[in-house]
């Protein structure tokens, strides 16, 4: 069992379990994306890049999991990115 699903099971609500399932899928997509991009964010990102979903998933994790969301370091790293970086990712997504 992965960290997302474990946390979802601990919280135990349907909302937490659904979010945990989506976070696990996002995580796998993000890892694959990072491998293809050589670990960097930049011109490799396309409109369907997992970076685009990271911020909303992070906000949702904070809402659903509360302070325990901070245990999700990979999500926090990508979802709580600086405002300037968010703008670049959003601009690429809308291009």
pLDDT averaged over consecutive 10-residue blocks of the chain (95 residues)? 91 97 95 77 68 92 96 93 54 53
Predicted model pTM? 0.77
pLDDT of residue 15: 97
Q: Is the dihedral of CA 69, 21, 37, 39 positive or negative?
A: positive
pLDDT of residue 37: 72
Tokens of 68: 């325990």
68: Cβ contacts below 8 Å, ≥ 6 apart: 7, 10, 11
pLDDT of residue 25: 96
Would you kindly state where each structural domain of the chain is located, as residue ranges? 3-94
Tokens of 31: 């890892």
- CA–CA dist 78, 58 (Å, integer): 8
pLDDT of residue 82: 60
């Amino acid at each position: 069992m992965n960290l997302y699903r474990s946390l979802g099971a601990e919280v135990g609500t349907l909302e937490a379990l659904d979010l945990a399932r989506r976070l696990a899928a996002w995580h796998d997509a993000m890892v694959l994306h990072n491998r293809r991009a050589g670990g960097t964010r930049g011109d490799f990102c396309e409109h369907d890049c997992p970076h685009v979903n990271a911020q909303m998933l992070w906000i949702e994790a904070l809402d659903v999991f509360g302070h325990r969301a901070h245990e999700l370091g990979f999500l926090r790293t990508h979802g709580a990115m600086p405002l300037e970086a968010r703008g670049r990712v959003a601009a690429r997504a809308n291009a």
